[in-house]
């Protein structure tokens, strides 16, 4: 912590001067998560928080689509992402043209789009979802056939949870979660039978089937905090366990994890630079933002 302290002090001081808040995702490194964030959460919690912010400036410590969502919800505020290159393999996997192709293939079916997408894709969709509310949103729609984009694995996991719906999907995937295999988990369990295995729903369905619990990043934190298993393997991004291990000394976090190279682009140095220079401002075409907001707001309204 000694090497981080000067950055933490300087950033917290600059936040006051700029009237800024830092919204940070659960995958941020511990020095960001514990040192400078005003609010931490999963994608849905961050989107809801963005609707409640009173500060003039939002610094999004997360990936670009999260900052875009904050801007869509707050067009008059300044939204900053400390590294414009903090992307997402899911957001890169589909365009508005792809959504149009799916609509042509399944006429009349509503498009439920994961928030891990660009503003243009959200604008071309009917409603957004996150990993914490996807099943609820799909179940609430009156249609039998539902298009889910862009995460094929989230779609397949939701199809298992809501079998009465005919869910069709785009073929995108998360480069972090697609790497886990069911065989890895089986092998791990054989050697560590008393480990609670907890997987994010961006993992393939056979990985989720091998796990004891699956949920959004905040769902995972709530589960481990509530259950306090002796040993826990978090089948997700590495910073999750680092961020919660101090508060849960009775839980031994074991097993491998995968790093998200996009989330890891956000560092204390870059946050300090961005706040100092007010660079990295996220802009969304107002016409696109207006349409995208409808899809995001419908999701928020359905999730309350
Ligand atoms: P959550 O909504 O569960 O936080 O997931 C966001 C994400 O990018 C996971 O890879
Ligand atoms: Fe995208 Fe996966 Fe990284 Fe989340 S963990 S930001 S879904 S690449």
The model's pLDDT over 168-198, given as tens digits with 9 standing for 90+, comes to 999 999 999 999 999 999 999 999 999 999 9
Residue ranges for the known binding site for iminosuccinate are 25, 43, 114-116, 131, 200-202, 217
The model's pLDDT over 272-296, given as tens digits with 9 standing for 90+, comes to 999 999 999 999 999 999 999 999 9
**Ligand 1 atom index nearest CA of 42:** 4
Q: 270 - beta bridge partners?
A: none
Q: Tokens at residue 193, please?
A: 């039978």
Is 117 a pocket residue for ligand 1 (Cβ < 6 Å)? no
Q: How far is the CA of 174 from the centre of ligand 2 (A)?
A: 5
- Select from 87, 150, 175 the residue to mutate for testing ligand 2; criterion: most ligand atoms less than 8 Å from CB: 175
Q: Tokens at residue 19, please?
A: 């009237």
- Residues 6 or more apart from 152 whose CB is under 8 A from it? 169, 170, 171, 172, 173
Ligand 2: which residue has its CA nearest to atom 2?
174
Residue ranges for the known binding site are 25, 43, 88, 114-116, 131, 174, 200-202, 217, 260
Closest CA to 43 of 294, 220, 247: 220
Q: How far is the CA of 176 from the centre of ligand 2 (A)?
A: 6
- How close are the terminal C-alpha atoms of the chain, in Å? 38
CA torsion angle for 218, 220, 221, 225 (degrees, to 10)? 140
The model's pLDDT over 96-134, given as tens digits with 9 standing for 90+, comes to 999 999 999 999 999 999 999 999 999 999 999 999 999
Using the predicted structure, report yes or no on whether residue 239 has a pLDDT greater than 80.
yes
Is 239 a pocket residue for ligand 1 (Cβ < 6 Å)? no
Using the predicted structure, report yes or no on whether residue 304 has a pLDDT greater than 80.
no
Q: How far is the CA of 131 from the centre of ligand 1 (A)?
A: 7
**Ligand 1 atom index nearest CA of 41:** 4
pTM for the structure as a whole: 0.97
Domains of the chain, with CATH numbers?
5-88+264-283 (3.40.50.10800), 90-174+288-303 (3.40.50.10800), 182-259 (3.40.50.10800)
């Amino acid at each position: 912590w000694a090497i981080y302290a000067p950055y933490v002090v300087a950033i917290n001081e600059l936040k006051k001067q700029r009237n800024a808040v830092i919204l940070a995702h659960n995958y941020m490194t511990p020095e960001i998560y514990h040192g400078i964030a005003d609010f931490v959460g999963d994608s849905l919690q961050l989107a809801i928080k963005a609707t409640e912010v009173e500060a003039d400036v939002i610094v999004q410590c997360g990936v670009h689509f999260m900052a875009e969502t904050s801007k869509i919800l707050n067009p008059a505020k300044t939204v900053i992402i400390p590294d414009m290159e903090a992307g997402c393999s899911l957001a890169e996997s589909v365009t508005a043209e792809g959504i149009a192709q799916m609509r042509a293939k399944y006429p009349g079916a509503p498009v439920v789009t994961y928030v891990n997408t660009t503003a243009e894709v959200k604008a071309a969709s009917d409603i957004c979802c996150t990993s914490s509310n996807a099943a609820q949103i799909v179940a609430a729609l009156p249609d039998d056939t539902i298009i889910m984009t862009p995460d094929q694995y989230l779609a397949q996991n939701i199809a298992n949870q809501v079998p009465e719906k005919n869910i069709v999907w785009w073929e995108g995937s998360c480069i972090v979660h697609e790497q886990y295999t069911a065989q890895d988990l089986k092998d791990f369990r054989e050697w560590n039978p008393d480990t609670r295995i907890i997987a994010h729903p961006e993992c393939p369905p056979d990985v989720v089937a091998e796990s004891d619990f699956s949920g959004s990043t905040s769902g995972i934190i709530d589960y481990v905090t509530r259950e306090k298993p002796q040993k826990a393997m978090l089948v997700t991004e590495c910073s999750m366990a680092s961020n919660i291990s101090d508060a849960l000394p009775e839980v031994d976090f074991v097993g491998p994890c995968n790093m998200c190279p996009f989330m890891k682009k956000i560092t204390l140095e870059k946050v300090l630079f961005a706040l100092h220079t007010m660079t990295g401002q996220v802009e969304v075409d107002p016409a696109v933002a207006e349409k995208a907001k409808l899809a995001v707001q419908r999701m928020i309204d359905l999730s309350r």
